[in-house]
Amino acid sequence: MKLQSLKSSLMIIMLSLGLLSSSVWAVKGIAFVHGTGANDDALNDYWNPSVISKIADGRPHTVINCEFTEYAWKDGAAGCLAGQLESFIQSKNIDNLVILTHSHGGNVMRWILSNPTWDSRYPAIINVTTKVTAIAASSLGTPLANAVIDGNVFESILGWILGYKSDAVRMQQTSWMANYNQNWLLGTAGRPSLPVYFQSVIGSDVDSSPFDGDSYCGGYPYQLGLEVTQNWLDDCSDGFLECSSQAGAGVVWFYDKSKTKGREPLSHHQSRRDCFNLSNILKNNI
């Protein structure tokens, strides 16, 4: 009887140690995925070191640098993203990956999530990813991409935020995104759900009054440019993307004013900066 009791006690201890070991070695990591453009130093050129540091809050993290001037499925885009995510996961033993994307980065990430058989690296990335937070995602494209490809005045106005006639811009035309969403990408209306929780943060307006200090967060010239482009979009837009596009995939987490400090809107540029307590909101959600 005593021997049986001893065996039971040892079994309980071993199970407890096993659970403790799993808990100790579980590692949560964060990946920051930039939007349209080619980046060698997205930490400084696309995001901002203070933003990344505040959101990561000491957790293991990586800032992606890829050629998001290409179509989402190309080696320089999804291939590059998969390679850098794989390296991060393996080097840091990540088994709980949270991904923050901005703008077109959400489309590239959705390509990986939607097409697990396209690349042998995709399944392992999907298996450890627990959540994607898509900030100002161009899930349904933007009329401004249509305008850039058509070669009108928007090409010069939007060069600093969208890029010129790259394949990534071509992909973000509204009719093209409708085709991709219908045939290749998951998570939009009428399509199967994504295999990973995909939540959207939506910017709804642009403030550019020179007499309003909030207009200067992230840089006043950006606000002026986005105020101009907003005139060609729905009333609800961040100056680059209409709210309907940002809300087009996954589930809506929040519209800017519902959570930001002072109920301030987030322009497309401000949503990658530490404006109106956004960094803390994102950090606390992780």
CATH number of the structural domain spanning residue 77: 3.40.50.1820
Domain total in the chain: 1
What secondary structure, in 3-state letters, does 8-41 show? HHHHHHHHHHHHHHHHHHCCEEEEEECCCEECCC
| Distance, CA of 126 to CA of 116 (rounded, Å) | 8
- Name the pLDDT band for 14 (thresholds 50, 70, 90): very low
Asked whether residue 10 is assigned to any structural domain, the reply reads: no
pLDDT in tens, 191-215: 999 999 999 999 999 999 999 999 9
| Distance, CA of 83 to CA of 77 (rounded, Å) | 10
Asked whether residue 6 is assigned to any structural domain, the reply reads: no
Q: How many CA atoms lie within 13 A of 270 on its CB side?
A: 33
Domain hosting residue 239, numbered range: 27-285
Give residue 232's pLDDT.
83
Asked whether residue 31 is assigned to any structural domain, the reply reads: yes
Asked whether residue 161 is assigned to any structural domain, the reply reads: yes
pLDDT in tens, 155-188: 555 655 556 678 999 999 999 999 999 999 999 9
Helix 105-114 × helix 80-91 angle, to 10°? 80
Asked whether residue 17 is assigned to any structural domain, the reply reads: no
Asked whether residue 155 is assigned to any structural domain, the reply reads: yes
Asked whether residue 57 is assigned to any structural domain, the reply reads: yes
The number of beta carbons lying within 10 Å of the beta carbon of residue 192 is: 9
Asked whether residue 94 is assigned to any structural domain, the reply reads: yes
**pLDDT above 50 (res 13):** no
CA-based torsion, 42, 48, 174, 109: positive or negative: positive
Full-model pTM: 0.89
CB 218 within 8 A of CB 273: yes
